[in-house]
Structure 1
Amino acid sequence: MNISQDKAEINKYLTQYRWDKMFTQETADSIQLCRYEAGEYIFRGGERRKWFFLYVEGRSKVYRVMENGEIMLVRFYRPFQLLGDLELFLESHNISSVKAISKVCCLRLPVELVKEEMKHNIPLLNHLARGLAEKLASFNTTAAVNQHYTMDIRLAAYLSMIYLEGDEYKESREEMETENLSEMADFLGCSYRHLTRTLESFKKDGLIEKKGRKIRILDPAALKKRSRDILLYED
């Protein structure tokens, strides 16, 4: 992780996401710019929360380690997100872990300063409440998708989301490392066997090529069509 207080870069992101007038000067002066490489943790579940984050660039995955030691993939994040909003209200340790899967940039502020702002800053409270409501709506939508859409549609949506960069498909074919398949199956609400059968079906249909731990997307347009545009696994 690289940390800086480059005011020009910080102000650029605050203005871009309309947070430039959200904080008092004291709080704004405490903002740090943090850059993460793929594979680095933004924070880990169970740790004491010290920072509140504005997630402004890159892609990451959110997961929880359950009491039995199993890992449950919860979500994928792209900008713009608030990280630590739930813990602000619950005053708890980090509930989930957030790990970068591309280069990621966040602005972070000390939690204690944000808590002080919440006592008198109504616009901030409104933004926090809206963010929590949007996350709840997103989780409800994902639950409905897992219950009512067939596995091939859900998997196509998942792979399309992984393949996307910005809002357009890359022109070149994309090769990606597969996630832990058990983790992926849990996220998609299916059995491990059902997932592997569906991947084989996609391979036979010419949508993907799978060699060992690598998946190559051969026909992103057809994959997107198969997904029926339900790209709902990402906030």
Structure 2
Amino acid sequence: MKEIHNEDLKRKLIENSDYTAKFSVEVMAETRLLHIMAGDYIVKEGEQPAYLFYLARGRAKLYATLANGRISLIDFFAAHCFIGELELIDQQHEPRAVQAIEECWCLALPVKPFRKRLLSDAIFLRHICISLTHKNYRNIVSLIRNQSFSLVNRLAAFILLTQNDDVYHEKHTQVAEYMGVSYRHLLYVIAQLTQEGLLTKARSGYIIKNKSALIELAREMEAEGALP
């Protein structure tokens, strides 16, 4: 993660994301612009973040290491959203790892001097409540999909969500757990997509060869009436 001193880019990202409307307190002067490369961490597991992040551009994933050492995928973030808001509100909350899926740009507000002001900011707190509600609803939809749709449809959507530059390289064990299927079943469906020419195996993972076909598979879950 690197701080970038580019006022024009920072101003553009602030304007495009409607960032300042999320606060009633003045935050412009203290907001920093951070650049995170794909694979780097926005928040490290177990370390209280020094900033409240606002993901202005890019995608990231949230995961946790369980007591048995297994790594479990929890959620995915896409611009525009806050990262680290739970740690800001509850200092006892155990931070989970947030890792960039692709190149990310974050607007970052130092937590220490702003915590008290933000916790008294009704506009900010209202926005956080709405944001957490949306995240909860997204998790409910994910659960419904796991129960209602074929793995090939869900995996197509997952590949599109987690790919970077048309390369998919998530760990099979973590994906199988996240989707609630067996490791063997997951490998069978990946092999099916490969045989049908949608994916090609490569050293770095799987190269997407037919994105439009993956999109069509994913869209079958978005049909009218398919989800609440």
- Deviation of the 1:70 alpha carbon: 0.5
| Alignment partner of 1:204 is 2:195 | yes
User: How many correspondences in the alignment?
Assistant: 221
| Alignment partner of 1:185 is 2:186 | no
Counterpart residue identity of residue 200, structure 1: A
CA 1:206–1:42: 2 relative to 1, 3 Å? same
Question: In structure 1, what is the equivalent of residue 226 of structure 2?
Answer: none
1:62–1:74 CA contact under 8 A, matched in 2: yes
- Separation in 2 of the partners of 1:186 and 1:39? 21
- Separation in 1 of the partners of 2:93 and 2:31? 21
Question: In structure 1, what is the equivalent of residue 17 of structure 2?
Answer: 17
- Separation in 2 of the partners of 1:106 and 1:229? 33
| Alignment partner of 1:151 is 2:151 | yes
Question: In structure 2, what is the equivalent of residue 55 of structure 1?
Answer: 55
CA 1:129–1:123: 2 relative to 1, 3 Å? same
1:45–1:93 CA contact under 8 A, matched in 2: no
- Deviation of the 1:195 alpha carbon: 0.4
Question: In structure 1, what is the equivalent of residue 210 of structure 2?
Answer: 219
Question: In structure 1, what is the equivalent of residue 225 of structure 2?
Answer: none
TM-score, scaled relative to structure 2: 0.86
Secondary structure of the structure 2 residue equivalent to 1:48 = coil
Question: In structure 2, what is the equivalent of residue 112 of structure 1?
Answer: 112
2:38–2:102 CA contact under 8 A, matched in 1: yes
2:89–2:119 CA contact under 8 A, matched in 1: no
- Deviation of the 1:77 alpha carbon: 2.0
Question: In structure 2, what is the equivalent of residue 168 of structure 1?
Answer: none
TM-score, scaled relative to structure 1: 0.84
Write out aligned runs for 1:127-138 (5 A). Answer: 127-138=127-138
- Deviation of the 1:211 alpha carbon: 4.2
Structure 1 stretches of 4+ moved >4 Å: none
Counterpart residue identity of residue 155, structure 2: L
Question: In structure 2, what is the equivalent of residue 122 of structure 1?
Answer: 122
Counterpart residue identity of residue 10, structure 1: K
Query: After alignment, is 91-100 or 188-197 more displaced?
Result: 91-100
Percent identity, please. 26
Instruction: Give the gaps of 5 or more residues in structure 1.
Output: 166-173
